[in-house]
Amino acid sequence: MNQLLKKISWMTLLIPVISVILGLLCGAIIMWATGYDPLLAYSSIVQSIFLQPYYAGETIRAMIPLVLSGLAVAFAFRTGLFNIGVEGQLMAGWFASVACAIGFDSLPKFILLPLSILAGAVAGGLWGLIPGFLKARFKVHEVISTIMMNYISLYTTSYLIKTFLFTQGERTPTIPPAASLASNFLANLTQGSRLHWGFIVAILAVIAMWFILWRTTMGFELRSVGFSQDASQYAGMNVSRNIILSMTISGIFAGLAGAMEGLGTYQYMMINATFTGIGFNGIAVALLGLNTPIGVVLSGALFAGLQTGGLTMQSVAGVPIELIQIIIALIIFFVGSGYVVQWAWGRFMGRRHKA
């Protein structure tokens, strides 16, 4: 029994690794087939993010919202919920944090900055609470309701910006320095990248997810509901409450991701015609990270690296940056098909397959 458990956990760790390798391999084949140089492309990515401080800084910068939205998806997954609504929660959080920063611009930094971050978290949490409530009370499937909430958020935030906070360049005014996470120190350190203090928030969030889920009674209940709603109900847990709670906390993580973009990376919010893509990438990050805090950090680093390195790849090897999106999509397919990867691996190693 013990040995079997070991084998399974070893296998589950192997699937993401195999998936990434397969994804990169397919990417290489696509490049080769379309007349690009895969070696040059990949080496340019590696070189830029490991050897050039600017790209290293941008990678960590891109990691901040990716990790947070990955945590959001992973947290809901642990309760058996699929939060596709990170994108909408992120936008709600982004808008709320920027609006709060501009609205209370006379406050000192030590109040305004935490307040703005909190505003983002609350807005994201509310945006997650609604689908959670609909699921708990009316059994509305969260996949459908969060997709609907995404679009409501997209159109509502752009309407609110147009009506109340509009300035030149189809965006809100820049937030006051007192609410900014940007830092000259970090920028200088990385030769002018947009790296900001938000990475501390991301680290705290990673710890928070681990602590809540594995070190509190609340987390035990949340995970228990994820394993079996019926058993949890029978054990006297309030399933509905846990569903709402899980979606709300998930939304808070997503709202924080938005706040990081608003207070850190951009210092404003633009009118978005389409989604930012960060929330959808968060699904990939969570899946690849096996819905664990550490896994989310690792896969967040991988995707952030691919995306910032992709810019260098485009200029050095001439490969359109969309290739990165293709690779990410393929990685999700492979991770999702874990069952077959496992089966094929079993065949490959000449062992008998056990489901």
Partner 1 sequence: MSFFEVLCIIVPSTLLTAAPLIFTSLGGVFTERSGVVNIGLEGLMSVGAFTAAVATLALEHSGFGAFSPWLAILIAGVAGGIFSLIHAVVSISFRADQTVSGVALNFLAAGLTIFLVKLIYNGGGQTPYIENNIDKINIPLLSKIPIIGPIFFQQVTYTSYLAILAAFVCWYVIFKTPFGLRLRSVGEHPAAADTLGINVIRMRYIGVVLSGIFGGIGGAVYLVTITSNYNVSTIAGQGFLALAALVFGKWHPFGALGASLFFGFAQSLSITSQQIPYLDQLPSVYLLIAPYVLTLIVLTGFVGRAVAPKADGLPYIKGQR
**Binding residues for partner 1 restricted to 222-251, rule: CB under 8 A:** none
Q: Which of 189, 304, 197 is CA-nearest to residue 259?
A: 197
Dihedral sign for Cα 56, 60, 66, 67, please: positive
Selection from 299, 208, 214 nearest residue 252 by Cα: 208
Among residues 109, 141, 215, 351, the one that binds partner 1 under rule CB under 8 A: 141
> How many residues form the binding site for partner 1 (CB under 8 A)?
47
Per-residue tokens: 40: 């040059």
Paired tokens of 24: 């990169």
Provide the b/e sequence for 54-68 (b: ≥16 CB within 10 Å): bbbbbbbbbbbbbbb
The least distance separating partner 1 from the CB of residue 287, rounded to whole angstroms, comes to 6
By CB under 8 A, residue 323 contacts partner 1: yes
CB neighbours of 332 closer than 8 A, spacing ≥ 6?
283, 284, 287, 288
**Residue whose pair of structure tokens reads 């935490």 in the numeric block:** 114
User: Judged by CB under 8 A, which stretch of 47-55, 154-162, 172-180, 207-215 contacts partner 1?
Assistant: 154-162
Among 32, 50, 159, 227, binds partner 1 (CB under 8 A): 159
Contacting residue, 3, 106, 217, 274, with partner 1 by CB under 8 A: 274
Structure tokens at 135: 């699921």
Residue 167's DSSP bridge partners are 171
Q: Is 311 in the site for partner 1 (CB under 8 A)?
A: no
268/334 with CB nearer partner 1 = 334
The correct pick among 155, 185, 211, 227 for binding partner 1 (CB under 8 A) is: 155
Contact status: 328 vs partner 1 (CB under 8 A): yes
Do residues 301 and 199 touch, judged by C-beta distance below 8 A? no
Please identify, among the stretches 192-200, 204-212, 256-264, 282-290, the one whose residues bind partner 1 according to the rule CB under 8 A. Answer: 282-290
3-class SS of residue 196: strand
Among 156, 174, 229, 233, binds partner 1 (CB under 8 A): 156
Measured from the CB of residue 274, what is the shortest distance to partner 1 in angstroms? 5
Q: Output 198 or 295, the one with its CB closest to partner 1.
A: 295
Going by C-alpha positions, the residue among 113, 247, 135 that lies closest to residue 180 is 113
Give the tokens for residue 155: 């159109």
- Which residues here bind partner 1, judged by CB under 8 A? 30, 34, 82, 84, 134, 137-138, 140-141, 143-145, 147-152, 154-156, 158-159, 163, 273-274, 280, 283-284, 287, 320, 322-326, 328-330, 332-333, 335-340
